[in-house]
């Protein structure tokens, strides 16, 4: 009979985290002195919802803290105080503290109670100053200070004129309302503050104790509220309920002329506003109508993990990622079955074979469309990641005493949720690096005649089947000579080896490569660009850096749109079939013996192709399988490229190009270098998918090993 409240805690934590992100972003959008009503409303709503939820779940510390913040915000909202840098700082720190408190509850971690109390005191001090010695204007909820609000207080601020409109509210809870932390008691308490309220309960559905699920709400209510002129005020109270309850708000009867809205903070609101138009439509609407002031919701993938910034947007639903993945898997299986059928058809004759073939052709196209739309469900805009940067850039530049402006473009570019989650850390690292090492100090910039404030530009766009994310700064650029010196010192390149600038710059992605002259607090602590590159490569992407001395540098990350399907080229080696990602393939050629240079005593082979020398990887050798041929001019060479490096993979035969569903080898087995996963072929067999960057490094390390062995043998012989 009992339900696991923990899952609802989980939901509360997740929603609160998202809400705090919204709060932070909104705070950062506020330019000094001018607070838009919608901004403060958004922020207020977040604090309010977190307070309510945490009180419900018994996180009294959080409830108490957010209550204080709410009080401060209320003062801002009603125009009694403005947001100066001091308040801004307090509020941003409060966001951090709330995050800390929430994760302390979530992960049962210790919390710096003193820091919380200190900040709370600072906020209280601001409140006290602005409201004189008067008590805080927002009455404390009973959950925080039990029993303190016995008489239902009339609305403190927008008191209703006698004979004013009475809103009629029908409230029909859904099954999960209570368990999700939406407590009608709390909601009614809020409502009662807006004006005189009468409550009628309908308990007809309440079963006897023996049949009662105590976590489910069986009661329905009809409320009448003499009260707020703005429907928005009501909607705010019902915020966060989403579709856990059916809420009907019937327009009040107007029997008094409407007076202009008074509070200054409502500046932008149109007043006098006729009382909300009678809304027959509202009756049919399960969710409260979005407050008009909430900024237009960002476009987002339907069903994705949307933020709760605009919770009333009933056109999207929250679906667990497992369900989506299940769907994607099933569609993946369908694709395999379909391609199996197509394969069977190839050799089929008979009167109806042509029709069957046509039908299968349709099926194939429809399958592809289906697969695409299913994959899109997992796609989310990259703004989910970008949004953390305004705060980070602000904090970091302050700390380093630099001036940095952040520009973001292409935030709506969508990519797979898993890619999205994993790209955050590398991007943070890159942006940190740019601020720390790229952007010069104010003086430094003045000397070279640049504007005092440096710019970091985050840019995202689609290109081909990939998403490109760029971190561009207008700082000093990379120091070519220092990188070169360091690379020689580390033995990454030979003492006389000459490299193109691009190759030199990309050396910074080598393991253990850090040229920061001093280890700073911000970056240069050993976790280097190699980790960034590795993370990106694990996602099947790559990263490149371009630099221009004194003009800045650009890091360009290329990522696959999704991790679940891939355009592949099937190649055969003996009895084995492998998939090479099409994006890595430059071309496939037949070669002639005279194009081959043997070096290192015949152990290494190079293909002379136009101006280049390309190492040849005999796949059968590396993978220890039996091939049809070991003669290079009998087979084919598929030229692949990764990170500007090319290699020729020697195979027996080229087969079809097709989209394959990527299956992890790790799920039941383990990760293997040079192999990024596996897929099912039309005949049900498993084919391994080659990981080109991994293959190149595997090949190189084997070659190096062989070289070392030979040298050792030579020394030994001598």
What would the two tokens of residue 318 be? 């929250």
Choosing from 301, 324, 492, 665, the residue that interacts with other proteins (CB under 8 A) is: 665
Site for other proteins, residues 611 to 630, rule: CB under 8 A: 622-625
Contact segment (CB under 8 A) with other proteins among 236-244, 409-417, 649-657, 672-680 equals: 672-680
Choice between 31 and 664, CB closer to other proteins: 664
> Residues 414-443 vs other proteins: string with x where CB under 8 A?
------------------------------
Rule CB under 8 A: say whether 92 interacts with other proteins. no
Min CB(303)–other proteins separation in Å: 23
- The single-letter DSSP state of residue 31 is B
Site for other proteins, residues 629 to 648, rule: CB under 8 A: none
Rule CB under 8 A: say whether 294 interacts with other proteins. no
Q: How far is CA 501 from the centre of its chain?
A: 34
Q: How far is CA 569 from the centre of its chain?
A: 31
Largest CA distance in the chain: 109
Contact segment (CB under 8 A) with other proteins among 262-270, 508-516, 547-555, 679-687 equals: 679-687
Q: Which residue has the tokens 């099937």?
A: 570
What would the two tokens of residue 518 be? 């001093």
Q: What is the dihedral of CA 590, 594, 598, 603, to 10 degrees?
A: 50
Query: Which candidate in 15, 24, 70, 414 is catalytic?
Result: 70
Min CB(266)–other proteins separation in Å: 28
Rule CB under 8 A: say whether 510 interacts with other proteins. no
What would the two tokens of residue 640 be? 């692949």
Q: Distance between CA atoms of 638 and 651, rounded to whole angstroms?
A: 7
Contact 543, 533 (CB under 8 A): yes
Q: Which residue has the tokens 């419900």?
A: 56
Contact 146, 189 (CB under 8 A): no
Contact segment (CB under 8 A) with other proteins among 51-59, 76-84, 275-283, 374-382 equals: 51-59
Rule CB under 8 A: say whether 593 interacts with other proteins. no
Rule CB under 8 A: say whether 147 interacts with other proteins. yes
Choice between 126 and 692, CB closer to other proteins: 692
Best CA proximity match to 45, nearest among 25, 70, 21, 24: 70
Name every residue whose Cβ is closer than 8 Å to that of residue 259 and which is 6 or more positions away in sequence. 161, 229, 272
Choosing from 115, 117, 125, 185, the residue that interacts with other proteins (CB under 8 A) is: 185
Best CA proximity match to 621, nearest among 711, 714, 698: 698
Contact 227, 238 (CB under 8 A): no
User: Is the omega angle on the peptide bond into residue 272 within 30 degrees of 0, that is, cis?
Assistant: yes
Site for other proteins, residues 54 to 73, rule: CB under 8 A: 56-58
What 3-state class would DSSP assign to 638?
Answer: strand
Choice between 426 and 677, CB closer to other proteins: 677
Best CA proximity match to 270, nearest among 258, 281, 261, 279: 261
Q: Distance between CA atoms of 632 and 534, rounded to whole angstroms?
A: 33
Min CB(110)–other proteins separation in Å: 22
β-pairing, 576-581 vs 565-573, is antiparallel
Q: Is 70 annotated as catalytic? A: yes
Q: Distance between CA atoms of 107 and 182, rounded to whole angstroms?
A: 22
- Half-sphere exposure (Cβ direction) of 62: Cα atoms closer than 13 Å: 31
CA angle 454, 457, 461 (to 5 degrees): 170
Contact segment (CB under 8 A) with other proteins among 142-150, 441-449, 468-476, 522-530 equals: 142-150
The residues pairing with 570 across neighbouring beta strands, listed in sequence order, are: 579
Choice between 59 and 389, CB closer to other proteins: 59
Contact 386, 408 (CB under 8 A): yes
In what helix (H) or strand (E) does residue 197 lie, and over which residues does it extend?
strand 196-202
Best CA proximity match to 638, nearest among 575, 586, 699, 694: 586
Contact segment (CB under 8 A) with other proteins among 229-237, 379-387, 423-431, 681-689 equals: 681-689
What would the two tokens of residue 192 be? 């009662």
Choosing from 110, 133, 163, 200, the residue that interacts with other proteins (CB under 8 A) is: 200
Rule CB under 8 A: say whether 576 interacts with other proteins. yes
Q: Is 215 annotated as catalytic? A: no
Min CB(354)–other proteins separation in Å: 31
Site for other proteins, residues 207 to 226, rule: CB under 8 A: 207-210, 212, 214-215, 217-219, 221
Contact segment (CB under 8 A) with other proteins among 328-336, 377-385, 414-422, 476-484 equals: 328-336
Rule CB under 8 A: say whether 108 interacts with other proteins. no
Min CB(6)–other proteins separation in Å: 11
Min CB(616)–other proteins separation in Å: 18
Which runs of consecutive H residues, i.e. helices, occur in 412-489? 417-433, 442-447, 480-489
What 3-state class would DSSP assign to 496?
Answer: coil
Tell how many helices (H) and how many strands (E) occur in the chain.
19, 22
What 3-state class would DSSP assign to 477?
Answer: coil
Min CB(65)–other proteins separation in Å: 18
Rule CB under 8 A: say whether 392 interacts with other proteins. no
Query: Which candidate in 387, 433, 506, 542 is catalytic?
Result: 433
Rule CB under 8 A: say whether 706 interacts with other proteins. no
Choice between 104 and 217, CB closer to other proteins: 217
CA angle 417, 423, 428 (to 5 degrees): 135
Choice between 134 and 203, CB closer to other proteins: 203
Contact segment (CB under 8 A) with other proteins among 117-125, 145-153, 386-394, 631-639 equals: 145-153
Choice between 536 and 675, CB closer to other proteins: 675
Rule CB under 8 A: say whether 485 interacts with other proteins. no
Rule CB under 8 A: say whether 564 interacts with other proteins. no
Choice between 84 and 621, CB closer to other proteins: 621
Q: Is 48 annotated as catalytic? A: yes
What would the two tokens of residue 96 be? 């951090």
Rule CB under 8 A: say whether 188 interacts with other proteins. yes
Rule CB under 8 A: say whether 684 interacts with other proteins. yes
Choice between 329 and 510, CB closer to other proteins: 329
Rule CB under 8 A: say whether 6 interacts with other proteins. no
Choice between 128 and 206, CB closer to other proteins: 206
What would the two tokens of residue 707 be? 């070289």
Rule CB under 8 A: say whether 519 interacts with other proteins. no
Contact segment (CB under 8 A) with other proteins among 25-33, 286-294, 369-377, 661-669 equals: 661-669
Min CB(399)–other proteins separation in Å: 38
Angular region, 449: left φ>0, alpha ψ -120 to 50, beta rest: left
Q: How far is CA 446 from the centre of its chain?
A: 37
Strand locations in 464-528, DSSP E?
466-473
Rule CB under 8 A: say whether 675 interacts with other proteins. yes
Residue 134: C-alpha distances to residues 128, 137, 156, 192, 563 (Å): 7, 8, 14, 22, 58
Choice between 69 and 143, CB closer to other proteins: 143
Choosing from 201, 256, 519, 713, the residue that interacts with other proteins (CB under 8 A) is: 201
Query: Which candidate in 48, 67, 429, 437 is catalytic?
Result: 48
Best CA proximity match to 610, nearest among 594, 588, 595: 595
Q: Binding residues for other proteins, how many (CB under 8 A)?
A: 67
The contact set with other proteins (CB under 8 A) reads: 1-2, 5, 56-58, 142-143, 146-150, 152, 178-179, 183-186, 188-189, 192, 199-201, 203, 206-210, 212, 214-215, 217-219, 221, 329, 332-333, 336, 576, 622-625, 663-665, 667-670, 672-675, 677-678, 680, 684-688
Catalytic residues: 48, 70, 433
């Amino acid at each position: 009979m009992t339900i696991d409240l923990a899952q609802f805690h989980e939901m509360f934590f997740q929603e609160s985290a998202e809400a705090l992100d919204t709060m932070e972003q909104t705070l950062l959008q506020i330019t000094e002195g001018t607070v838009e009503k919608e901004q403060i409303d958004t922020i207020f709503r977040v604090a309010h919802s977190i307070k309510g939820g945490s009180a419900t779940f018994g996180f009294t510390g959080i409830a108490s803290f957010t209550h204080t913040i709410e009080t401060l915000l209320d003062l801002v909202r009603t125009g009694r105080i403005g947001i100066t840098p001091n308040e801004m700082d307090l509020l941003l720190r409060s966001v951090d503290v709330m995050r800390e408190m929430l994760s302390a509850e979530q992960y049962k971690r210790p919390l710096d109670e003193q820091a919380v109390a200190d900040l709370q005191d600072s906020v209280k001090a601001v409140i006290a100053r602005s409201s004189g010695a008067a008590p805080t204007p927002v009455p404390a909820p009973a959950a925080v200070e039990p029993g303190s609000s016995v008489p239902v207080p009339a609305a403190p601020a927008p008191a209703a004129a006698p004979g004013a409109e009475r809103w009629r509210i029908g409230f029909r809870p859904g099954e999960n309302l209570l368990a999700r932390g939406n407590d009608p008691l709390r909601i009614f308490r809020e409502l009662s503050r807006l004006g005189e309220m009468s409550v009628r309960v309908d308990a007809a559905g309440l079963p006897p104790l023996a049949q009662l699920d105590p976590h489910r709400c069986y009661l329905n209510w009809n409320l009448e509220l003499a009260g707020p002129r703005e429907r928005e005020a009501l909607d705010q109270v019902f915020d966060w309920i989403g579709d856990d309850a059916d809420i009907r708000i019937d327009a009040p009867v107007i029997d008094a002329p409407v007076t202009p809205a008074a509070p200054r903070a409502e500046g932008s609101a149109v007043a006098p506003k006729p009382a909300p138009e009678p809304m027959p439509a509202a009756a049919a609407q399960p969710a409260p109508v979005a407050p008009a002031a909430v900024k237009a919701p960002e476009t987002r993938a339907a069903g994705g993990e949307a933020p709760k910034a605009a919770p009333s947007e009933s056109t999207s639903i929250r679906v667990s990622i497992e369900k989506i993945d299940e769907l994607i898997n099933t569609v993946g299986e369908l694709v395999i079955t379909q391609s199996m059928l197509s394969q069977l058809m190839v050799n089929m004759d008979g009167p109806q074979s042509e029709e069957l073939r046509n039908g299968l052709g349709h099926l194939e196209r429809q399958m592809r469309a289906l697969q695409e739309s299913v994959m899109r469900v997992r796609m989310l805009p990259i703004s989910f990641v970008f949004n953390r940067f305004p705060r980070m850039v602000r904090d970091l530049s302050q700390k380093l005493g630099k001036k940095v402006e952040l520009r973001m473009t292409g935030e709506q570019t969508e990519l797979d949720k898993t890619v999205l989650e994993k790209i955050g850390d590398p991007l943070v690292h890159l942006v940190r690096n740019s601020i720390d090492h790229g952007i010069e100090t104010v003086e430094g910039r003045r000397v070279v005649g640049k504007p005092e404030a440096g710019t970091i530009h985050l840019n995202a766009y689609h290109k081909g089947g990939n998403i490109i994310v760029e971190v561009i700064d207008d700082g000093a650029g990379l120091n070519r000579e220092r990188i070169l010196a360091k690379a020689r010192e580390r033995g990454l390149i030979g003492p006389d080896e000459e490299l193109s600038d691009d190759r030199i710059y990309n050396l910074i992605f080598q393991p253990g490569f850090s040229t920061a002259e001093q280890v700073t607090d911000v970056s240069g602590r050993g976790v280097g660009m190699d980790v960034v590159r590795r993370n990106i490569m694990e996602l099947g992407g790559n990263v490149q850096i371009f630099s221009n001395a004194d003009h800045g540098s650009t890091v360009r990350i290329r990522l696959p749109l999704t991790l679940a399907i891939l355009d592949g080229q099937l190649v055969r080696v003996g009895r084995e079939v492998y998939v090479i990602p099409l994006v890595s393939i430059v071309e496939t050629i037949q070669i002639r013996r005279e194009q081959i240079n043997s070096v290192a005593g015949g152990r290494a082979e190079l293909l002379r192709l136009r101006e280049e020398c390309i190492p040849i990887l005999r796949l059968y050798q590396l993978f220890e399988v039996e091939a049809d041929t070991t003669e290079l001019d009998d087979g084919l060479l598929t030229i692949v490229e990764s990170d500007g490096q090319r290699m020729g993979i020697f195979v027996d035969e080229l087969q079809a190009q097709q989209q394959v569903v990527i299956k992890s080898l790790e799920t039941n087995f383990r990760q293997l270098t040079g192999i990024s996963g596996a897929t099912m072929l039309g005949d049900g067999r498993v084919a391994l998918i080659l990981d080109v960057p991994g293959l190149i490094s595997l090949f190189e390390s084997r070659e190096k090993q062989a070289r070392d062995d030979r040298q050792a043998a030579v020394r030994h012989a001598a």
